[in-house]
Structure 1
Amino acid sequence: MPSLPSYSRPGRGQHFQDAYGFAEACIAGDRMEIAGQIGMSPTSTSIPPTIEEEVAQAFTNINEVILYTLEQVRPELREKVQTGWDKVVKLRTYHVNLAPTREHIIELMVENVKKWCPGHQPTSTMVGIEALPFEGQNLEVEVDVFLG
């Protein structure tokens, strides 16, 4: 049985795939699954100083992973989309300390979804959790992309 094609951006994404075996994106039929993206820039391991910047960077990272993967696999589809978020159908977010920051986090999520998905509304699940892998990390965002 052939393996599922997986992709990671050069830099931290490729490093994590090589070191830990986790790809940033995997293609399964007409879907692209995007691994949880965090608020770090693709070239560093530092978390931005504000939650607003962390959320914005996570959304930007998702966009970059989708566009990079489309360029590798479906360049004709890449040419048809303005952003990778144009094809996002499902959004899952994981938040540390969600209860005390709930209203602000919801506001940030809505703001970013409206910015990145002005022409459609993906489904969404938001989960509060105890901790994430990196010190100071407050959220992780993963999405499913429809390639059809």
Structure 2
Amino acid sequence: MSQIDTYSHDVSGEKEFGFAQSIKVGDTIYVSGQLSHDAEGTFLYPDDLGAQLQQVWSNLDAVLRYHGVTRNQVALDTVFVVDLHENAAAIAASHLAYFGDHRPTSTTVGAAALFFPGQLVEINVIVDTRLPA
């Protein structure tokens, strides 16, 4: 039987909505949608896509660190973005900057709205720990 390990940022919303930031089952880590919030769970940078992306990647790094993996082990990411056509170039540039030479599979989905007013992006990933770090 596989050992299950979960991680939470311990921010508001996790308990109220009943989710963890990640769950590791065997060699796979499923990471919930990461968004732009601080350590207390306060949503940051409404309507500022660049700042939101920086915070999203930072929050994702915290999840990856907990599990002792790197961004090179991300096998799949899904990006949800408001105003997809207007924001596509910024999303692509940020994605390239974050992953460098690593190329995970990726899906980008346009969204009419996300949870918080002014929230423009949310990114979830699946990690395969068997990939080289």
Which structure 2 residues correspond to residues 64-75 of structure 1 after superposition, within 5 A? 64-68=62-66, 70=67
Shift of 1:2: 9.3
What is the TM-score normalised by the length of structure 2? 0.83
Shift of 1:4: 4.8
Which structure 2 residues correspond to residues 101-140 of structure 1 after superposition, within 5 A? 101-114=87-100, 118=101, 120-140=102-122
1:62 maps to 60
Aligned residues of 1:34 and 1:143 also touching (Cα < 8 A): yes
Answering whether residue 85 of structure 2 is matched by residue 142 of structure 1, we say: no
1:99 maps to 85
1:8 maps to 8
Q: Percent identity?
A: 28
Change in 2 beyond 3 A, CA 1:108/1:91: same
Shift of 1:131: 0.7
In the alignment, the residues of structure 2 paired with residue 107 and residue 3 of structure 1 have an alpha-carbon distance, to the nearest angstrom, of 37
Shift of 1:7: 2.0
Aligned residues of 1:42 and 1:61 also touching (Cα < 8 A): no
Shift of 1:22: 0.7
Shift of 1:85: 1.1
Higher helix share: 1
| 1:33 corresponds to which of 21, 27, 30 | 30
RMSD (Å) for aligned C-alpha atoms: 2.3
**Structure 1 runs of 4+ with >3 Å offset:** 1-5
Answering whether residue 3 of structure 2 is matched by residue 17 of structure 1, we say: no
Change in 2 beyond 3 A, CA 1:5/1:137: same
Higher strand share: 2
What is the TM-score normalised by the length of structure 1? 0.75
Any unmatched runs of 5+ in structure 2?
none
Any unmatched runs of 5+ in structure 1?
71-77
In the alignment, the residues of structure 2 paired with residue 37 and residue 101 of structure 1 have an alpha-carbon distance, to the nearest angstrom, of 18
